[in-house]
Structures are given as structure tokens and as C-alpha cells.
Amino acid sequence: MRPSLESLLMFAEAATLGSFSAAARKLGKQQSTVSEAIANLEIDLGLNLFDRSTRRPTLTEHGKAMLVHAQQIMAANDRMERTANRLAEGLESQLSLVLSDTYQSDRFEIVLTDFERRYPELELECMIAEHTDVVALVQEGRAHLGLVAAQADYPPDIGFESIAERSAIGLYVGRRHPLASEAYVTTAMLHQHRELSLNTYTGDVVQRRRGKTWSSSSYLLLMEMAELGFGWVELPCWLSKRFAADSLVELKVLGWPKSVQVDAVWSRRHGLGPAGGWLLDTFLRP
């Protein structure tokens, strides 16, 4: 027979208060009810939980071990009830966020902290993708909300709005690359060297210039290629400064670095729940 939550509660209260009568008073029950429930619990478990040979019942070693499990079961039940209440109110059970590395904000850690405080039991998944991959993940329902470098257009079922923060993209090479020593670099000079270009799984290659090309769907991998001297690359400036300040050189090219607008995107078909809506509103807030 499986122990009931009520009997586990009586056991935990008696163990904590050190008295069956004190547990009964706290729970608003007769002492005989508490004593009987704990005795039945001991029968169900096949263990003596309390030593009753003393004036006040004390936990046995088995009782101490079972108290830990009882507390864990009751805590799990509390979480289940809270989750059920939130779901009944329409709150998501899980939220997936897909981020582009073009997005960088000093507020992001604060946003996550506020999110955790507001929705402590909600599971949050963060993914990294770029350009049309972000849109595809949101469109398919794999992600609820995305942050992406602004696209020229979006599918009709994708909602989008620009967030307050903008990003910056610069051109970089490794310190031993031939272009690293140039005071000023022209487009023609870039054409003479391999470009390390961002690609996407959905098949759209970010527009490239003429010449040799290696590509990847990850800015981090492109950055490592540049550090090794394999070519020049467009990178979010924050990424280079944080992770490759000593190994990359930013090229001085007319029109660079470029300011990049970042959009929040979501699915109009799937919609956003309360947590997703709160997160979107927070990203959009100046």
C-alpha cells in the first residue's frame, strides 16, 4: 500500500515537533488519529520510524532516512500543485528562446534574473541560431520567441518588432593575417582573401562578396577560423571584444562597423503565453 500524503505530513510534523500530540494540535486532529496514521505508515513501509520506549518518541535511524524522502515527496507534490494552478491559468509549462549572437545587451542578465523570480518553476530553454534559422525555429513552433538581426521581410505568420538595443558588426582578421597590418582596407583588397561567411541550415547564405569562401552557421566557429588566420570575417563587435580581443584585429573599411537593428520575432499561429508575453514586453522596453 502506498503511503498517503496526509500520513507523510503527520509523520513529518511529529518528527519535527517531537510529539504526536503537538503534531495533532498543529494539524487540527485527534492525537489518536495521528498515532494511528503513523503506525499504519510503519506497517506499510515495514519499518519502525519512531522509538516509543522513551517519554517522547524519537526518530530511529530508519525514521531519519524516511523523513528525508517524505519531505521530498511533499515538496514534489507542492510543485505539481503550483504547476497545475499555473497551467489552469494558461501559463506555459516550458518556454524556448532562440537568440542570435548579434544580440547583446547589458540588461540580459537582469532580464533573466527577473524572469526567474517571476516564474521560478517554469523551464527555460535558450538556443543559438542566426538569420532565417531563427525565423524557421519560431515558425515551426520549436521556439516560442526569437531575437534576430532584422530581416528584410518575414513570413505572414511571424510577428516582429524591433527591440530597443542595437548591435554592431565589424570586419576582423587574425593578428597574423596579411590584412592585419594594413592601415586601411578596400573592398578590392578583401576580394583577394578568403571570406569566412555566415551560413544557415535553412539554405540561405548571407550575401557574400566575390572570392574564396568558407562558411559556418556559427559566429563562434567563424571567429575561431579567423583567429587561426583562415580569412576575414564579419562578427558582432561585442563577441570579438569579449572572446578574442587579443587575437583579432578589426579592419578599417569604409562603412564599417555597421549598426544592426535587432528584432524580436514570434509565431502568430502559435501565440505567446503569459511568460512569453512578459519576456517579449521586457525586451521591447527601452
Residues in CB range of 168: below 8 A, 6 or more apart: 236, 237, 238, 257, 258, 259, 260
pLDDT band for position 206 (50/70/90)?
A: low
> What is the model's pLDDT at position 114?
95
Q: How many CA atoms lie within 13 A of 211 on its CB side?
A: 16
Q: What CATH number is associated with residue 225?
A: 3.40.190.290
Tell whether 198 and 225 lie within a shared domain. Answer: yes
Q: What CATH number is associated with residue 68?
A: 1.10.10.10
Q: Measure CA of the first residue to CA of the last residue in the chain; give whole Å.
A: 58
User: What is the number of structural domains in the chain?
Assistant: 3
**Contact assessment for residue 50 and residue 38, using Cβ atoms and an 8 Å cutoff:** yes
Kindly state the average pLDDT of the residues 12-39: 88
Residue range(s) defining the domain that contains residue 54 = 5-88
Instruction: Please say if the pLDDT value at position 210 is more than 70.
Output: no
Tell whether 219 and 265 lie within a shared domain. Answer: no
Nearest to 213 by CA among 228, 223, 203, 198: 198
Tell whether 161 and 268 lie within a shared domain. Answer: yes
Tell whether 158 and 174 lie within a shared domain. Answer: no
C-alpha cell at 242: 569579449
- Say which range, 78-82, 162-166, 247-251, 273-277, has the weakest mean pLDDT: 78-82
Is the overall model pTM greater than 0.95, yes or no? no
- C-alpha triplet 17, 18, 21: angle, nearest 5°: 80
- Say which range, 87-96, 175-184, 203-212, has the weakest mean pLDDT: 203-212
> What is the model's pLDDT at position 82?
57
C-alpha cell at 109: 542578465
Tell whether 131 and 52 lie within a shared domain. Answer: no
What DSSP string describes 86-131? HHHTT--SEEEEEE-TT---TTHHHHHHHHHHHSTTSEEEEEE--T
pLDDT tens for residues 77-92? 766 775 676 567 777 8
Tell whether 52 and 74 lie within a shared domain. Answer: yes
Q: Which of 13-27, 87-101, 107-121, 244-258 has the highest mean pLDDT?
A: 244-258
Tell whether 267 and 157 lie within a shared domain. Answer: yes
Instruction: Please say if the pLDDT value at position 139 is more than 60.
Output: yes
C-alpha cell at 137: 525555429
Scanning the structure block, which residue is given the C-alpha cell 519560431? 138
User: Which of 53, 88, 123 marks a domain boundary?
Assistant: 88
Tell whether 57 and 28 lie within a shared domain. Answer: yes
> What is the model's pLDDT at position 76?
81
